[in-house]
Amino acid sequence: MKNIIVIGGGGQLGQCLQEVVKIPSKLFKYIFLSEQELNITNAGQVKDVFEQYKPAYCINCAAYTAVDQAEEDVELAHEINELSIQRIAEACRVHQTVLIHISTDFVFDGKTGVPLREDGATGPINVYGLSKLKGEQVLSATLNQYFILRTSWLYSEKANNFCKTMLKLAQIKDHLQVISDQVGTPTYAIDLAKAIVHIIHSGSQVYGVYHYSNEGVASWYDFAKAIFEFAEIDITVTPVNSDVFVTKATRPHYSVLDKTKFKKTFGLAIPYWRDSLNQCINNL
């Protein structure tokens, strides 16, 4: 049986992966490592974990994701999202481990207005996006056997996310303002987890960068309206432009990902965002 280590196993996607693989496999043993069990900024710990498990695959869900805070924590964001990725990639190279690394739509500037392809020009407009792009670059320069999965707007029943925040706010407010001039695709983290497991079980060696989000297009306003619709919550939601909310980090206005390459390579149907959201709300 081959080992698969999941770094960041206690985060939202890590918890969703635990949910997806809870029925034991005869081929793979999944080892979920929390931040306490593996701090990726610690080179010695990274080395020791790879020596211990000699994994066939490493799924890296660990990242610095506080987008606004990153504008001040520049060094830490790059330490976690760039330098630590190089450490992981080097350990993967030594042990001939295939790395599946999660990246983001924030590597783009959001100015194109057409679905973003893997070979499209990147141009991060905040520290978080730049640190994630640098992580992709050091990974691809260090390792040949890797899948980089860029995704967007992750939510689920686990951890903190936009969907759960909206449901909490609806308990204390009867009116919300939600941004309508930022467009992308909400992505159910369970669907992403299933896609990752599908890649592993496919045994594919078509390595490289892939885009994965749910199908369809939405603004944050559309997303919020759908959450309240499916949860049957009566609340007034007003669309506003992003300049109404002053944030430290600038966000892309358009980050719809083109999934053509992923679908062609792995032959996996991708659910429509509203269908997945309805499923998530029913579970909550």
Residue 23: its pLDDT value, please? Answer: 87
Residue 127: its pLDDT value, please? Answer: 98
Within a domain: 83 = yes
Coil, strand or helix at 80: helix
Within a domain: 163 = no
How many residues appear in the chain? 284
Which residues constitute the domain of residue 73? Answer: 2-156+187-215+255-271
Within a domain: 166 = no
| Structural domains counted in the chain | 1
Helix 273-283 vs helix 220-231: angle between axes, to the nearest 10 degrees? 40
Copy the structure tokens of residue 212.
């994965």
pLDDT in tens, 101-136: 999 999 999 999 999 999 999 999 999 999 999 999
CA nearest to 7, candidates 140, 135, 118:
135
Within a domain: 233 = no
What letter represents residue 262's amino acid? F
**How many helices (H) does the chain have, and how many strands (E)?**
10, 12
Residue 24: its pLDDT value, please? Answer: 83
CA distance 263 to 272: 14
CA nearest to 219, candidates 110, 123, 134, 137:
110
Coil, strand or helix at 38: coil
Tens-digit pLDDT profile for the chain (284 aa)? Answer: 999 999 999 999 999 999 999 988 899 999 999 999 999 999 999 999 999 999 999 999 999 999 999 999 999 999 999 999 999 999 999 999 999 999 999 999 999 999 999 999 999 999 999 999 999 999 999 999 999 999 999 999 999 999 999 999 999 999 999 999 999 999 999 999 999 999 999 999 999 999 999 999 999 999 999 999 999 999 999 999 999 999 999 999 999 999 999 999 999 999 999 999 999 999 99
Q: What is the domain-level CATH number for residue 46?
A: 3.40.50.720
Residue 136: its pLDDT value, please? Answer: 98
Within a domain: 88 = yes
pLDDT in tens, 49-86: 999 999 999 999 999 999 999 999 999 999 999 999 99
* Catalytic (active-site) positions: 128
Coil, strand or helix at 105: helix
Within a domain: 225 = no
Within a domain: 207 = yes
**pTM > 0.95: yes or no:** yes
CA 34 to chain centre: 17
Q: Which residue(s) pair with 28 in the sheet?
A: 2
The Cα-based distances of 283 to 57, 117, 164, 187, 197 in angstroms read: 30, 32, 12, 16, 21
CA dihedral over 31, 20, 105, 94, signed as positive or negative: positive
Within a domain: 165 = no
